[in-house]
Amino acid sequence: MSGEVPQSASVVIVGGGVMGASLAYHLVCRGQRDVLLLEQGRVFGQGATGKCAGGVRHQFGSEINIRLSIESLAMLDHFEADIGQAIGLNYCGYLFLLTRPADMAAFEANVSLQHGLGVPTEWLSPSQVAARVPLVRTDDVLAGTFYGRDGLCDPNSVVSGYVAAARRSRARLLTDVEVIGFDVRGRKALGVKTSAGDVAAGVVVNAAGPQAAVVGRMLGADLPIWPLRRQMLVTTPLPEVPLDFPFVIDFAQGLYFHREGPGLLTGQSNPSERPGFDESVDLEWEQHHLARAVERLPLLEHAGLAHHWAGLYEMTPDAHPLVGLVPGFDNAYVVAGFSGHGFMHGPVAGKLMAELILDGRTSTLDIAALSPSRFSASDVASAREYNVI
C-alpha cells in the first residue's frame, strides 16, 4: 500500500483498472480535490484490464459503442503527448472474417452504421480477404470487413500513465486495500469500509469491473453484471508472420489472432462458459481452441506455447456498460459492465463519469443508452451489441 487510507475523501473510486485510473485522472484534470482510488490487488491494472487482448476498434454494431470508440481512440492518439507515457499504439487494423450467411446482413447494417458515423470500414470480397491475409485459410469466407484505424495498444502502459498523471495532481491512489462495505443511509453512501479503515465519502464510484456486482451488493443494489472467463495464449516466434498482419477475427467461431512481439496471440471464446470468477486456464478448451486455430491459420501447427492465461469479461444482458448513478442512490455511481470492450473505452468512460459527477450531466456524448436503470425502463434500453467476441 503506497500511503495511508485517509479519514475522508470527496470522491472514492473502487477499482484500479483502466476505468478507475481514467476517472481519477479526469477528475483531477477538472480540478477535483481529495480523489481517492482503492485497488484490492498489489498492482494497478492487473485484473481484467491487464489480462485483455489489448485490441482497440471502431467496428461495433451499436451507435453508442461506435461513438465511444471514436472518442476513446482519439484520446489514445494523443495519450503520449498529453500524459507523457508511450502506450504502444499500433493501427494494424481489424479484419473480421464472415463465414455464415446469417451474419452477412447484420454486418452489412453495421458497416452502413459505421459509415454514417464517419468510420470508413471496408467491405471485402473473399478474394480481397485472401489477398490481405495469405497465411490465413479463407476458402469458406463469404466476406470480410476491415478498418485500418483499428488495432492494438498496451493496457498496462495506459493504466500506469493515468496513475502517474493522477498522482502528479495529488490524487491518492492506493493498492492492497479491499473494500468490505459501505455506510449507506437512505439514498446516500456516506462512507466506505475498507481493510485498512473507514473513509467518509462525498461520492462513491463502483469501477470494480468483474467484481462490480459484488460491490453493488455491498451497497444494497442488484447490478446486472456478471464475470465470464476468457482465455488466450501467446506462441513462440513466428518470423513468417508479416509486421502488418492485422487483428484477425473469425467471427462465427469467436476465434482471433494478432501479432504479439515475435509470436502470435490467439484466443477463442467458449460459448458454453458459465459465469464465475475462475481464472485458471481450461486446458481442455485450450486444446479445442488450438485445433480450430490451426485450421484457420495452418502456420500455427509449427509454433510452441510461450505462455497462456485467463481473465474475466464483465458481461451485461445487452453487452453494453452501465454508466451513471446506481439506481436508488444520489451519490453512488457505477462505470462497469463493458462486456469485453472496457480497455478500449476506458479513456472516454473516465471522462464521461467525471462530467457526470462534476456537472450532473455528460457533454462529450449522450449516454442515455447506458443508463444503469435501463433494464427496468424499456424506452431507453439499447439493443444487444452484435460484435462481441
CATH code where residue 197 lies: 3.50.50.60
Domain boundary, last residue among 289, 313, 337: 313
Q: What is the pLDDT of residues 99-136, one digit of tens each?
A: 999 999 999 999 999 999 999 999 999 999 999 999 99
Q: Is the pLDDT of residue 380 over 50?
A: no
pLDDT at residue number 383: 79
- Closest C-alpha to 303, from 383, 350, 237: 237
State the CB neighbour count (10 A cutoff) for residue 88.
14
Give how far Cα 85 sits from Cα of 43, 161, 229, Å: 18, 5, 30
pLDDT in tens, 290-303: 999 999 999 999 99
**In terms of domains, do 360 and 328 share one?**
yes
**The total number of residues written for the chain in this structure:** 389
Return the residue matching grid coordinates 494478432. Answer: 258
Domain housing 218: 8-51+156-225+318-376
Q: Which residues pair with 181 in a beta bridge?
A: 193
Q: Are residues 183 and 290 in the same domain?
A: no
Whether residues 221 and 234 share a domain: the answer is: no
Same domain, 246 and 113: yes
Residue 149 CA: distances (Å) to CA of 122, 159, 220, 262, 366: 11, 22, 42, 22, 24
Task: Report whether pLDDT(38) > 70.
Answer: yes
Residue with cell 476458402: 139
Model confidence at 381: pLDDT above 70:
no
Is residue 253 situated within a structural domain?
yes
- In 126-280 the beta strands, taken as DSSP E runs, fall at 143-147, 151-152, 172-174, 179-185, 188-194, 197-206, 226-235, 247-250, 255-260, 263-268
pLDDT digits (tens, 9 = 90+) for 236-286: 999 999 999 999 999 999 999 999 999 999 999 999 999 999 999 999 999
Mean per-residue pLDDT, 73-92: 97
Question: pLDDT over 70 for what percent of the chain?
Answer: 98
Over residues 27-45, mean pLDDT: 97
Residue 73 lies in a domain: no
The full DSSP string for 275-333 is: SS---S--HHHHHHHHHHHHHH-GGGGGPPEEEEEEEEEEE-TTS--EEEEPTT-SSEE
Last residue of a domain, one of 297, 313, 329: 313
CB 247 within 8 A of CB 272: no
Class of residue 86 by CB neighbours under 10 A (exposed 0-12, middle 13-18, buried 19+): exposed
Using pLDDT thresholds of 50, 70 and 90, give the confidence band for residue 25. very high
Task: Give a yes or no: residue 144 inside a domain.
Answer: yes
Question: Which residues have a Cβ under 8 Å from the Cβ of 299 and sit 6 or more positions away?
Answer: 135, 238, 240, 241
214-231 confidence digits (pLDDT tens):
999 999 999 999 999 999
105's grid cell: 446482413
- Asked whether residue 219 falls in the same domain as residue 244, the answer is no
Element of type H or E holding 9: strand 8-14
DSSP letter assigned to residue 202: E
Cα torsion 63, 65, 68, 69 to 10°: value is -110
**Domain limit, last residue, from 263, 295, 313:** 313
Same domain, 246 and 336: no
Q: Is 307 a member of any domain?
A: yes
pLDDT of residue 379: 46
Mean of pLDDT over the chain: 96
Check which CATH number belongs to the domain holding 116 and give it. Answer: 3.30.9.10
Confidence of residue 2 (pLDDT cuts 50, 70, 90): low
Residue 79 lies in a domain: no
CA-closest candidate to residue 126, choices 113, 116, 118, 138: 138
145 and 25 share one domain: no
- Read off the pLDDT of residues 303-322 as tens digits, 9 standing for 90 and up: 999 999 999 999 999 999 99
Question: Is residue 183 domain-resident?
Answer: yes
Q: CA 141, CA 88: separation in Å to the nearest integer?
A: 31
Which pLDDT does position 376 carry in this prediction? 79
One domain, residues 246 and 280? yes
3-state secondary structure of 57: coil
Q: Could you tell me if 215 and 359 lie in one domain?
A: yes
Domain for residue 356, yes or no? yes
Tell me, yes or no, whether 250 and 307 share the same domain: yes
Specify the DSSP element, H or E, that contains 8. strand 8-14
**253 shares a domain with 239:** yes
211 and 234 inside one domain:
no
Distances (CA, A) of 44 to 18, 37, 329: 9, 10, 28
Instruction: Kindly state whether residue 46 falls inside one of the protein's structural domains.
Output: yes
Q: Are 15 and 173 a contacting pair, CB within 8 Å?
A: no
pLDDT at 378 over 60: no
Set of cell numbers at residue 386 = 452484435
In angstroms, the CA 225 to CA 175 distance is 24
**What is the domain count for the chain?**
2
